[in-house]
Amino acid sequence: MWNSVELLQNNFLELELYCIETKQMNQKERYNKVLDYFKTNQPVAETELKYANAYELLVAVILSAQCTDKRVNIITPALFKRFPNVKTLSLAGFDEVFPLIKSCSYPNNKTKHLIGMANFVCSEYSGNIPGDLQELQKIPGVGRKTANVIAAVIFSKPAMAVDTHVFRVSARLGLTIRAKTPYEAEMQLIKHIPEKLIPIAHHWLILHGRYTCKARKPDCPGCGLKEFCKFYEQLSASEKIN
């Protein structure tokens, strides 16, 4: 026979399980709606960095840290003309590279990273940019975000690079829940996004954050995702209360 305490505990567990299942279903539905929206309204999405090969994209992504893609695209033509491949860059000196990238943020560090990257790739990978995520992260100046970009864009691997735009947009939409770091956000996103869509989903979220879901003034009225956006739900509820 069940006593009253056991019945109460059993009912509580059932309710807790129901809430968890409901929460998962709602999140799954939210992912489906967000992805369906992008597939319909933005079937083509790609990086705004200009590049011709893996070497050029890697250089551009290293330069893009805390710098706009627009600025990087202004810098790279002269840089690539002077150093058209990883071998030529590996032979460059600091004073040769620095003047060409000095208009970007942190040019001193980035000059060192670029030369270090080129030397490492030449010595360890025979001048070829590797496609493996772990190998990429061994390269000077290449962190997880940069490695994910190269893996996804050049090698079409299911890698999700989480920058400030992706981190902000995924949290606002409700795709990530209480993610405190880019890595936590990445793990949540790749868990729920179909593998074949991960490379383009990275661009969807970046571009949405860059032009619509801006950090300070998100364009909620003009956003096609507001119908299933967690941030907009909370914003609307707050306005009704006030």
Residues that are catalytic: 145, 163
Q: Where are the beta strands (DSSP E) in 22-181?
A: none
Q: Tokens for 20?
A: 């968890």
Output the DSSP codes for 179-206.
--SHHHHHHHHHHHS-GGGHHHHHHHHH
Q: Tokens for 36?
A: 């369906």
> Do the Cβ atoms of 160 and 198 come closer than 8 Å?
yes
Question: Rounded to whole angstroms, how far apart are CA atoms 181 and 220?
Answer: 25
Question: Rounded to whole angstroms, how far apart are CA atoms 80 and 90?
Answer: 13
Nearest C-alpha neighbor of 176 from the set 120, 110, 231: 231
